[in-house]
């Protein structure tokens, strides 16, 4: 189903049957609606990613992948959402909100930066956890958040961007 978000398609009855929150992303697989990006990433990883070597089999490595996926949505996402709010034209206290959000994002990105020391990717090898967090870091980039202070993160982003599927997506 293709949606025109500007036209309000996410709030129309057909889509609300899939995601009653009226938000994207959402998928339907074998008749089951799944929404929330972390849930979608983990579901796709479990169903399709293990055999494709993009998601760990059940066990501690999977727990590590899940940790980073949820961390992106909850811990990093919360601060990034506050930064995004500060861009709203009628945002009260936008400058203070943005400053606090940037400080909090920087603290969270230090955690990610430290985790990437001596690692090419979050779990060692590229996984859907990298794909998921890459999306959040791209969102920060769209909000002009400066990542230069996080050398391991910026190098990791370069490696992610070189992945064939992502490079193809970004080119086209």
Percent of the chain with pLDDT over 70: 99
User: What is the number of helices (H) and of strands (E) in the chain?
Assistant: 8, 2
What pLDDT shows up at residue 87?
83
Do 5-49 and 60-170 agree at the fold level? no
φ/ψ of 87, rounded to 5, equals -85, -10
What pLDDT shows up at residue 2?
87
Half-sphere exposure of 115 (CA within 13 A, CB side): 18
Cβ-count burial of 31 within 10 angstroms (0-12 exposed, 13-18 middle, 19+ buried)?
A: exposed
| CA–CA gap between residue 77 and residue 16 (Å, rounded) | 24
**Structural contact between residues 37 and 132, judged by C-beta atoms closer than 8 angstroms:** yes
Segment 18-56, tens digit of pLDDT: 999 999 999 999 999 999 999 999 999 999 999 999 999
**Domain map of the chain by residue range?**
5-49, 60-170
**Structural contact between residues 39 and 97, judged by C-beta atoms closer than 8 angstroms:** no
Percent of the chain with pLDDT over 90: 83
What pLDDT shows up at residue 136?
92
Fold entry, domain 5-49: Glutaredoxin (3.40.30)
- Block residue for tokens 């066990």: 59
What pLDDT shows up at residue 165?
84
Segment 61-107, tens digit of pLDDT: 999 999 999 999 999 999 999 999 888 877 777 888 889 999 999 99
Architecture of domain 60-170 in this structure: Up-down Bundle (1.20)
Res 172 pLDDT > 80: no
What pLDDT shows up at residue 56?
98
């Amino acid at each position: 189903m293709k949606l025109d978000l500007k036209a309000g398609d996410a709030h129309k009855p057909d889509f609300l049957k899939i995601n009653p929150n009226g938000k994207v992303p959402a998928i339907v697989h074998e008749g089951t609606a799944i929404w929330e990006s972390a849930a979608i990433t983990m579901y796709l990883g479990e169903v399709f990613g293990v055999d494709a070597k993009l998601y760990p089999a059940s066990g501690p490595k999977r727990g590590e992948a899940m940790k980073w996926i949820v961390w992106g949505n909850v811990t990093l996402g919360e601060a990034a959402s506050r930064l995004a709010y500060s861009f709203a034209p009628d945002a009260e206290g936008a400058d203070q909100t943005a400053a606090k959000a940037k400080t909090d994002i920087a603290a969270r990105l230090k955690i990610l930066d430290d985790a990437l020391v001596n690692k090419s990717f979050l779990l060692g090898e590229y996984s859907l956890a990298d794909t998921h967090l890459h999306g959040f870091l791209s969102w920060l980039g769209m909000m002009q958040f400066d990542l230069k202070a996080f050398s391991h993160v910026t190098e990791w982003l370069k490696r992610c961007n070189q992945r064939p599927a992502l490079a193809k997506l970004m080119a086209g």
